[in-house]
């Protein structure tokens, strides 16, 4: 007999005191009893997406909910307040494959209000929970699993570092079980790469709270990429993990905290910094700097005429440089976006047109690339690079036309052969000509009728 059947048949007249008290306060608020041990070794952490089955009962044996009955697993983010307190507490103590029963007092469940109509006020509840699996939180911008965070210790408050914030943190970098980096460091978010801190760590730290301790898992794209990092002996294309603790931080001024003069002054500084990163081949770090200019100035209003000109010049330079960075990273859609922004500011900009043509070729829009290159040559006849690229572009267009011509020729040939076969088959299947052949079977008989139905016959023909 299952636990559910026993509860239904016998009822539960009072809360069982069996189980281990796992409530943080030690107040018997959540009691846990393991019904099936797990062979796993890891526990889910705060922020992990967990996948469970559950059944819930009142203390009189009344079942009020079950994911098993619905035949649909239940998932939630652990420690984020998406479920009752007892669940966040209990599931954090489970391993994959474990089944447990928890008894939780009202203050760890639905409290004095209950959850009408099934759960009355001040109800003590009993749950059977089975943990199937769990996985960390994906912080990567493209949600490609490249930056996974698992929180060991939750931080304090709700404030988080922003770009430009000065952070103090403790970190330990690991690959293939080997610690390659261990230090306490203070740096400005956006400057980390120059100190041997990969972009994935900088992305993650902007999602952390003061005092938070987390484990980060980085794919090469968000680590040290195809180049590796020789100073720390990290080989190319290496998956990395970092244990990090954000000790403290001081946020950088937000856009709304700066006046227009400050934004323009800072814009000049970060442009120079971005250019230094670009020349050093640190394109993602350069991108961070150039994006600050767009964030500060793109929607700034109320500028004096002189400020407007300076703002436009900075935005144009930032857009063109962002396009150049994304070209280097072979991210052509992003390149197109920033070229378009530059060309909104200055429609005949030489670099904007040329870089957009490069990006169009990168996404196989060769005819659009040809149009941009022709415009560059028309406006700037001495641009040799545009002439060279146009020749390549036109060659690609010709090759594509030849491929299409061959495809269509083959297609029409197959259709002709098919029609010929069907025609031959029809002829061989026709009955022998006799006096019994109906008029409709003879093409020579398809003449309008010589009576009042002539108009109809002509229409049908």
Establish whether 43 is a catalytic residue. no
Token output for 237: 């294309």
Rounded to an integer, what is the distance from CA 391 to the centroid of its chain? 37
Catalytic position from the list 48, 54, 129, 181: 54
CA distance 260 to 246: 32
Q: Which residues contact 130 (CB under 8 A, 6 or more apart)?
A: 36, 52, 53, 54, 97, 98, 99
Residue 382 backbone dihedrals phi, psi, to 5 degrees: -90, 5
Catalytic position from the list 22, 46, 84, 89: 84
Catalytic position from the list 88, 119, 127, 147: 127
Token output for 203: 């992305």
* Other residues' Cβ atoms within 10 Å of the Cβ of residue 407: 10
Q: What is the 3-state secondary structure (H, E, C) of 446-461?
A: CCCCCCCCHHHHHHHC
CA distance 216 to 137: 10
* Structural contact between residues 102 and 88, judged by C-beta atoms closer than 8 angstroms: no
Catalytic position from the list 110, 134, 229, 290: 110
CA distance 146 to 223: 9
The label of the residue with tokens 């020579």 reads 444
* Structural contact between residues 378 and 362, judged by C-beta atoms closer than 8 angstroms: no
Establish whether 110 is a catalytic residue. yes
As to burial, measured by CB atoms within 10 angstroms (0-12 exposed, 13-18 middle, 19+ buried), residue 320 is: buried
Of 369, 377, 358, which Cα lies nearest the Cα of 394? 369
Establish whether 158 is a catalytic residue. no
* Structural contact between residues 249 and 155, judged by C-beta atoms closer than 8 angstroms: no
Establish whether 180 is a catalytic residue. no
Token output for 408: 């269509």
CA distance 39 to 20: 20
Catalytic position from the list 34, 43, 64, 174: 64
Of 247, 206, 239, 7, which Cα lies nearest the Cα of 103? 7
Establish whether 412 is a catalytic residue. no
SS3 385: helix
* Structural contact between residues 182 and 173, judged by C-beta atoms closer than 8 angstroms: yes
Token output for 6: 């026993």
* Structural contact between residues 325 and 286, judged by C-beta atoms closer than 8 angstroms: yes
Catalytic position from the list 34, 65, 99, 132: 65
Establish whether 54 is a catalytic residue. yes
* Structural contact between residues 43 and 125, judged by C-beta atoms closer than 8 angstroms: no
As to burial, measured by CB atoms within 10 angstroms (0-12 exposed, 13-18 middle, 19+ buried), residue 226 is: exposed
Residues known to be catalytic: 54, 64-65, 84, 110, 127
């Amino acid at each position: 007999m299952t636990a559910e059947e026993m509860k239904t048949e016998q009822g539960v007249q009072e809360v069982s005191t069996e189980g281990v008290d796992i409530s943080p306060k030690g107040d018997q608020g959540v009691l846990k009893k393991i019904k099936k041990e797990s062979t796993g070794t890891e526990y889910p952490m705060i922020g992990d997406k967990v996948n469970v089955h559950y059944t819930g009962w009142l203390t009189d044996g009344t079942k009020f909910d079950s994911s098993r009955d619905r035949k649909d697993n239940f998932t939630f983010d652990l420690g984020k307040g998406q479920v009752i307190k007892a669940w966040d507490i209990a599931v954090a103590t489970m391993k994959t494959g474990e089944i447990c029963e928890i008894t939780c007092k009202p203050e760890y469940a639905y409290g004095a209000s209950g959850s009408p109509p099934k759960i009355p006020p001040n109800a003590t509840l009993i749950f059977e929970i089975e943990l199937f699996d769990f996985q960390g939180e994906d912080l990567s911008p493209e949600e490609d699993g490249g930056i996974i965070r698992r929180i060991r210790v939750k931080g304090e408050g709700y404030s988080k570092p922003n770009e430009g914030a000065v952070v103090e943190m403790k970190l330990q970098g690991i690959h293939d079980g080997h610690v390659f980096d261990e230090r306490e460091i203070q740096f400005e978010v956006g400057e980390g790469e120059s100190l041997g801190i990969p972009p994935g760590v900088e992305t993650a730290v902007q999602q952390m709270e003061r005092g938070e301790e987390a484990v980060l898992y980085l794919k090469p794209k968000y680590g040290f990429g195809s180049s590796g990092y020789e100073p720390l002996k990290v080989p190319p294309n290496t998956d990395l993990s970092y244990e990090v603790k954000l000790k403290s931080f001081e946020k950088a001024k937000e856009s709304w905290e700066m006046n227009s003069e400050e934004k323009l002054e800072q814009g000049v500084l970060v442009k120079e910094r971005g250019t230094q990163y670009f020349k050093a081949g640190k394109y993602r770090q350069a991108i961070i700097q150039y994006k600050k200019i767009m964030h500060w100035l793109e929607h700034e209003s109320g500028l004096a005429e002189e400020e407007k000109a300076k703002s436009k010049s900075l935005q144009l330079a930032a857009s063109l440089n962002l396009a150049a960075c994304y070209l280097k990273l072979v991210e052509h859609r992003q390149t197109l976006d920033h070229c378009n922004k530059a060309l909104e500011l200055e429609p005949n900009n030489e670099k904007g047109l040329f870089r957009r043509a490069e990006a169009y070729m990168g996404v196989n829009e060769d005819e659009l690339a040809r149009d941009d290159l022709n415009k560059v040559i028309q406006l700037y006849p001495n641009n040799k690079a545009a002439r060279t690229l146009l020749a390549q572009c036109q060659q690609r267009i010709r090759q594509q036309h030849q491929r299409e011509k061959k495809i269509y020729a083959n297609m029409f040939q197959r259709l002709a052969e098919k029609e010929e076969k069907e025609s031959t088959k029809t002829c061989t299947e026709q009955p022998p000509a006799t006096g019994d052949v109906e008029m409709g079977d003879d093409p020579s008989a398809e003449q309008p009728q010589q009576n009042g139905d002539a108009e109809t016959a002509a229409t049908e023909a």
